[in-house]
Each structure stands twice: as C-alpha cells, then as structure tokens.
Amino acid sequence: MKKKALPSPLGGFRRILVEDFEYRPGPAGTLEKVLCYVGRDLVSGKTTKVWGPGTEDPGPLGPEDLLVAYQAGAECRARETLGWSAPKNILCLHAEYSRLVAGRTEAIYKSRGLADALKVFGIRHKFETTKSMWQGRACDPRPLTDDEQVGMLSYCAADVDATVDLFLKMNCRWATELEMRQALFRGYFVQMNDQVEQAGIPIDAATWTTISGRRLELREWFIRDLGFADLFDGEKFRRKKFEDFVASFAGNRWPRTQAAGVLRSDEETLEQMAEIYPEAGRYLELHRTLSTLKSSRFEIDPDGRSRCYVHPFKTLTGRNAPPASRFIFSASKWMRAIVRP
C-alpha cells in the first residue's frame, strides 16, 4: 500500500492549531492544576479561550490536524492531564529553533526560551515586561482574584499571538514534504520525550540517602582507589601535580587556557582527551564522581523516581543535554547501581 503523502505545511492540514496552557506544576512530574487554555486555528481564524478547562476538549485533534506550540511537550502533558485528544502531528517551535541556532556561540543564542526566540526574530511579546511575573503567579498556590484570572488569560493569549508570529516567520523552513516530515518527527520525539520525563527513573532511595550522608568519606576513597592521591591535598586540587600527571602520557599535547596558559581540566576537555589517552579517561571518571558528590542536586520524588527536564536538542548535534547533577545517566557510571530494575 502506497504511503499517503503528508500535506504541505500551509495548505494541506484541515486545521493548524497554535495553542498554549497556563498551569501550576505538581509533584512527581504532574500538573497540579491547569489554569487556562488559548488556541487559535490559523485555517479558520477561530480563537478559543477557556478559563479552568475541564475534561471536554473544545476541538479534538485528528490525523489531518497540526498542533503548533513552542514547548510542545508541556502542551501534550496538559492535554493528557485533562483527558483531551492527543495530537497526531506536532510542530514544536522550540525544537525547530534549537536546530536553527545549534552551533552558534553568540550570547543571544545561549538561551532558547520563547522570549529568546522572539528576540532573535524581532518579535515583540505584548507582556514582555511582566512575563516573569505571570509565570511566577501561575506557580503560586494562592487562589487568583477575578482580575488576576482575566490577566492570566490575556497573558496566555499573548503567548499564542507571539507563537503565531514566530511560526509565520519560520514556516519557510518546512516548504517541502521532506522538511515537513522531519519536523513532525522531531515533534513526535518531543511528545515521547515528555512521556519518559513523566515516568521518571526508579531509584534505590535508601542507598542514595546513605551515599549522601557519607560524601566526604566516599570522596577520599575514590581518590585513593583510582590512584590520584597525589593530585589532592584534602579538598584542594594540586594543579602542579596534575600537570606532572598529564606530561607523563601526553607530553605537551594537552590544551591550555588562553588567558592563563594553564592546562584545561574541564569536563569537555577531559572527554576529548579521553578518546586519545586512556589515562585521561580514568581521571575523567574521578572528575565526574567528585562533581557528583560535591554538587549533586539529585532528587527523588515521593514515588521513588527521579525526574528532570532533559533539554532536548540542546547540544551542537541536536542531542538531549540533561544536567549531570540531576540526571543519573549523565553522572558517574557507578551511580547507575542505584537504579532499580
């Protein structure tokens, strides 16, 4: 059976729905309360605004409809929470913007929120000066006054307006069927990625509590066991000893900082050199372990699972970039022993 061609991004979809929810986050990857919803169909021009949405979907999405959102994973989660229809075709503008600016080192491309993308494309948000205030108010458990409800719904509508403007600025990037298919595949990945984040990773909480309570002892043990006792004086890193260690296998073939000319010891450099020198790989494992023991913000929810935002498409090559201090598979390999099957 011949596969049906996807409709073009501008004319073939029955509906192109740009939407946004405002909600209060809950524990363990849930949404405590969905506050409001705004959706605009770019084909019919109809705008739907709902305060305190319930289980009745105002416009169920079908296989010929396209959902457009900036953080599409969040919208999918809100839809699932309310029991609304799951989108079959998703265009996540965050994923598309991340792909567009990947590899750019200028400061303006460092952050990738909606406000950042709008700034790059020269789009003004109607609530630009009060956006953070409304975001904070949505997370505040206090009941909203009547005036605040009107303001929150207006803020949500402004997010939709800005997302529409961004979509219209970017839609030339999905001019062919192949480009559209690729964009929809990225949108599907965002949807599934959110499912994984919600599920979380089961953790042996008792063992992690023991580890957390004996960090200093474990730090000293790892330093000795991996053979790097000379590189440390208590908690102080002995840079001269590190230079001697590097010179023993790499000679002068190790990157240095431009400013001070000292050997680089950051994780990115260690990862690169570990591909060349096994000794660097051994030290990289210690570096990750000490970082985990020192600064881990590793959290376990009441249901015994660990969750965090994994920053999809953040790396140069478009991979996820979860924080090592909160994502167990980005931390030292030995920590995977506390993952429960």
Count Cα neighbours of 79 within 13 Å in the Cβ-side half-sphere: 24
CATH architecture of 202-338: Up-down Bundle (1.20)
**pLDDT at res. 113:** 94
**pLDDT at res. 10:** 61
**pLDDT at res. 62:** 96
On the question of pLDDT at 222 being above 70, the answer is yes
**Burial class, 126, CB count within 10 angstroms (exposed 0-12 / middle 13-18 / buried 19+):** middle
Residue range 259-275: mean pLDDT, rounded: 92
What tokens does 252 get? 């002068």
In this prediction the pTM is 0.81
Q: What residue ranges in 52-117 does DSSP mark as E strands?
A: 65-69, 90-92
Count Cα neighbours of 281 within 13 Å in the Cβ-side half-sphere: 6
Q: Kindly list the domain boundaries of the chain, sorted by start residue.
A: 15-199, 202-338
**Burial class, 233, CB count within 10 angstroms (exposed 0-12 / middle 13-18 / buried 19+):** exposed
Residue range 279-307: mean pLDDT, rounded: 86
Which of the four pLDDT bands, split at 50, 70 and 90, describes residue 1?
very low
**Burial class, 310, CB count within 10 angstroms (exposed 0-12 / middle 13-18 / buried 19+):** buried
110-119 pLDDT, tens digit each:
899 999 999 9
On the question of pLDDT at 240 being above 80, the answer is yes
CATH level 3 topology of 15-199: Nucleotidyltransferase; domain 5 (3.30.420)
Residue range 238-245: mean pLDDT, rounded: 95
Helix locations, 8-88, DSSP H:
72-82
**Burial class, 250, CB count within 10 angstroms (exposed 0-12 / middle 13-18 / buried 19+):** middle
Residue range 28-41: mean pLDDT, rounded: 91
**295 to each of 198, 268, 282, 298, how far by Cα in Å?**
24, 18, 20, 9
Please tell me the distance from the alpha carbon of residue 307 to that of residue 199, in angstroms, as a whole number: 8
Pairing of strands 201-202, 305-306: antiparallel
On the question of pLDDT at 3 being above 70, the answer is no
Please tell me the distance from the alpha carbon of residue 19 to that of residue 72, in angstroms, as a whole number: 9
Sign of CA dihedral 156, 26, 114, 57: negative
129-169 pLDDT, tens digit each:
999 999 999 999 999 999 999 999 999 999 999 999 999 99
On the question of pLDDT at 23 being above 90, the answer is yes
Which of the four pLDDT bands, split at 50, 70 and 90, describes residue 172?
confident
Average pLDDT, the chain: 91
Percent of the chain with pLDDT over 70: 96
Residue range 192-219: mean pLDDT, rounded: 91
What tokens does 37 get? 């919803």
* Whether the Cβ atoms of residue 101 and residue 112 lie closer than 8 Å to each other: yes
Please tell me the distance from the alpha carbon of residue 137 to that of residue 29, in angstroms, as a whole number: 19
Q: Which of 42-51, 273-282, 330-339 shows the lowest mean pLDDT across its residues?
A: 330-339
Which of the four pLDDT bands, split at 50, 70 and 90, describes residue 294?
confident
